[in-house]
Amino acid sequence: MKKQLSLTTLSALTLLMIPVATHAATFDGNQDVNSSTATVSITEDTKSLPRIMAAPDISFGSFSNSQAINSTAEKITDNLKVVNADPNYNWTVKLDVSSFVNNENSDNSLADVSLKAAAGTVTFENTNGKKTPVSSALTNSDATTTILRSTQGATGTATHNLAAEDVTLSIPQWSPAGNYTAQLTWTLANAPYSSSDDRKAQ
Amino acid sequence: MLKNTPWLVLTALILAWLGFSQPTQASTNHFSVQTELPSNQVNKKVSYFDLKVSPKQNQTIYIKIKNHDKIAHTYTVATNLATTNDNGVIIYNDLRSKPDSSLTFNIADAVAGKQTVQVAAKSTKRIGIKLELPVTPFKGVALGGINIYQQSTNQDDQPKSGLSLQNKFGYVIGLQLREQTKVTVKPDLKLLTVGPRQVNHRNYVNAKLQNPHANLLHGLKVTSYVTKVGSTKQLLKTTKSQLEMAPNSHFNFALGDGTTELTAGNYQLHLKSSAENGAYQWRFTKKFTVTAAKAKQLKQTTLPDTMPPTNWRLIAFLVSIIVLLLALVIWLLIRHRRQST
């Protein structure tokens, strides 16, 4: 009887494993639960240094690789926030999206993944009456994109707001299952064409 | 224990298949940078480096890194040539592409190599960057960027489950060198090549645009479309504005949204562009051919827009067998229990 039971159980489990083996891509969205605090503590500088204070934490739901994934974000916490008190500092925020690299084997990465984001909205706590910075959409995550651009001489705190439905992740069907991580690198650039008005200042 | 084993295994398998949400990296940045502008700064109304230099000149310029965090951090400081990427954005971290053929002076060759610096908690460090100008004079401007990135800590690198996004932060400070205070080089734009190109299994028509001169192109607008030769019907069209180009650089301007099938035939690109709010304008037309072999190759390697149909018969069959086997297991368990009692 025991042999019969074991054989039957084994058969059932083997069959149960079939869908698991073919649908086991569990792309799990991650959620930041860090208690991150954003404070400025400036003592030795005569003015606040321009700085990216924070960037959005974007998480996606869980997915199976049995079909192509084309999903909006599940949740976004935090916003891209830039502070600047220097009217000579005309900045842009550029975003680089790396490939999704397998956590267990860095030689493997997901192919043909696309991350897109709408331009969102910008709120600006203005300290010198200049115009609000301008945001742009992320349409091609294969190349660096300018996400936010200051206006000439503006000082204050700019916050770029993205809603969950503004961000879309696309992954082809049958991408290999596993745990993957991509880096979003937010770079504050202070360089020519941070504002096209740089030349007028000369 | 044996009686519970199938249910424990089944529960574990279901949980593994569904996956869980995991916490990601902190989203707060803990450092900032500042420049010390030297006396040879040309434009004093900007805070990036814009320096008037001479051939054979040696100079050390300084930046400051302030670590706002409660722990020490290590930073990488590296200066690279400014290039233009395929989004029409000037970037300062491209170490893979070859410099444009029109470039005569690569600013990265005149700047000391990558540095690694440690900054103690809640403190500021002054970093020197050495410049050594070549003997040969150069016209226009040479543009690069000083990239400053915080190196990851072990905590940052902890592997996560599922699909996760990690935020990283960095700064770029422009480094613009010129040997004449007033730049007299006029902006120019050239169309180098045109043809089909596949990116991420999507098909585009690619126009390779070049800024052949040593000055920046600001406020670039490109309006373009593709027709069959001899036809006026626009098959693909794309317009983009607020693009920018680094001095002596090129980029691939992609026409279309990647979904249009390119059949074999003779085509013509029509492209007009303007810069500096229309102060400079260019217009190009160029013919190109998509061969039958190329069209076939593009079609075969295109990502399908639609999923293959789901095999519901197979799914129904498998589900039926699973249900039958589960029923059999339950029946055997009940019979085994009755026989025992």
Q: Measured between CA atoms, how close is B231 to chain A, in angstroms?
A: 31
Q: Which of A8-12, A52-56, B181-185 has the lowest mean pLDDT?
A: A8-12
pLDDT digits 0-9 by tens, B181-224: 888 888 999 999 999 998 877 889 999 999 999 999 988 999 99
Residue B199 with chain A: CB contacts under 8 Å: 142
What is the pLDDT of chain A when averaged over all its residues? 77
Q: Residue A10 above 80 pLDDT? A: no
Nearest chain A alpha carbon to B33: A49
- List A121's β-bridge partners, or say none: A161
pLDDT digits 0-9 by tens, A95-120: 999 999 998 888 999 988 989 999 99
Nearest chain A alpha carbon to B2: A6
Q: Residue A47 above 90 pLDDT? A: no
Length of chain A in residues, anyone?
A: 202
Strands (E) in B100-216, as ranges, are 115-119, 123-132, 141-150, 163-178, 190-199, 202-211
B147 and B206 both lie in a single domain? no
Residue B65 with chain A: CB contacts under 8 Å: none
pLDDT at B306: 45
B173 and B51 both lie in a single domain? yes
Q: Measured between CA atoms, how close is A159 to chain B, in angstroms?
A: 14
B209 and B282 both lie in a single domain? yes
Residue A28 with chain B: CB contacts under 8 Å: 19-22, 161-164
Q: Mutation target for B interface from A144, A147, A170: give the one with most B CBs within 10 A.
A: A144
State the Cα–Cα distance between residues B164 and A30, nearest whole angstrom: 5
Q: Residue A27 above 90 pLDDT? A: no
For residue A37, is it within any domain?
Answer: no
For residue A36, is it within any domain?
Answer: no
CB-CB under 8 Å, A190 with B162: no
Average pLDDT over residues A17-34: 36
pLDDT digits 0-9 by tens, B239-248: 999 899 999 9
More confident residue, A130 or B108: B108
Q: Which of A5-19, A66-80, A161-175 has the lowest mean pLDDT?
A: A5-19
pLDDT at A17: 43
Confidence of residue A63 (pLDDT cuts 50, 70, 90): confident
For residue A40, is it within any domain?
Answer: no
Q: Residue A13 above 70 pLDDT? A: no
Domain that holds residue A159: 2-31+45-201
**Residue among B104, B169, B98 nearest B135 (CA):** B104
**DSSP assigned state of A194:** S
| CA B284 remoteness from chain centre | 27
For residue B204, is it within any domain?
Answer: yes
pLDDT at B101: 96
pLDDT at B97: 80
CATH code of residue B296: 2.60.40.2360
For residue A126, is it within any domain?
Answer: yes
Put simply, the chain A residues between 152 and 191 with a CB less than 8 A from any chain B CB are: 169, 172-173, 179-191
For residue B320, is it within any domain?
Answer: no
CATH code of residue B36: 2.60.40.10
Q: Residue B17 above 80 pLDDT? A: no
Across B1-5, B210-214, B318-322, which has the greatest mean pLDDT? B210-214
pLDDT at B57: 97
For residue A107, is it within any domain?
Answer: yes
Strands (E) in chain A, as ranges, are 51-54, 57-59, 69-72, 75-77, 80-84, 92-97, 101-102, 114-117, 121-126, 134-135, 145-149, 156-161, 167-171, 180-190
State the Cα–Cα distance between residues B297 and B289, nearest whole angstrom: 14
At which residue do the structure tokens 């902190």 appear? B26
Domain count for chain A: 1
pLDDT at B116: 97
pLDDT at B25: 46
Nearest chain A alpha carbon to B327: A12
Confidence of residue B159 (pLDDT cuts 50, 70, 90): low
Average pLDDT over residues B12-20: 37
A137 in contact with B, Cβ within 8 Å:
no
More confident residue, A83 or A38: A83
Q: Residue B300 above 50 pLDDT? A: yes
Q: Measured between CA atoms, how close is B47 to chain A, in angstroms?
A: 6
Domain count for chain B: 2
Average pLDDT over residues B153-176: 82
Domain that holds residue B47: 29-153+169-178
Q: Residue A22 above 60 pLDDT? A: no
For residue A142, is it within any domain?
Answer: yes
Average pLDDT over residues B64-70: 94
For residue B21, is it within any domain?
Answer: no
CB-CB under 8 Å, B318 with A142: no
ipTM value: 0.77
For residue B258, is it within any domain?
Answer: yes
Q: Measured between CA atoms, how close is A136 to chain B, in angstroms?
A: 10
Residue B17 with chain A: CB contacts under 8 Å: 19-20, 23-24, 26, 64
**Residue among A94, A194, A146, A196 nearest B187 (CA):** A196
A46 in contact with B, Cβ within 8 Å:
no
For residue A184, is it within any domain?
Answer: yes
Q: Residue A43 above 80 pLDDT? A: no
Residues A201/A153, Cβ–Cβ less than 8 Å: no
B238 and B139 both lie in a single domain? no
**Residue among A103, A6, A144 nearest B164 (CA):** A103
B144 and B267 both lie in a single domain? no
B51 and B137 both lie in a single domain? yes
B247 and B173 both lie in a single domain? no
Confidence of residue B153 (pLDDT cuts 50, 70, 90): confident
A19 in contact with B, Cβ within 8 Å:
yes
- List A187's β-bridge partners, or say none: A94, B170
The torsion angles phi and psi of A57, rounded to 5 degrees, stand at -95, 120
Confidence of residue B23 (pLDDT cuts 50, 70, 90): very low
B98 and B144 both lie in a single domain? yes
Provide DSSP, B8-53: HHHHHHHHHHH---B-----B--EEEEEE--TTBS-TTSSSEEEE-
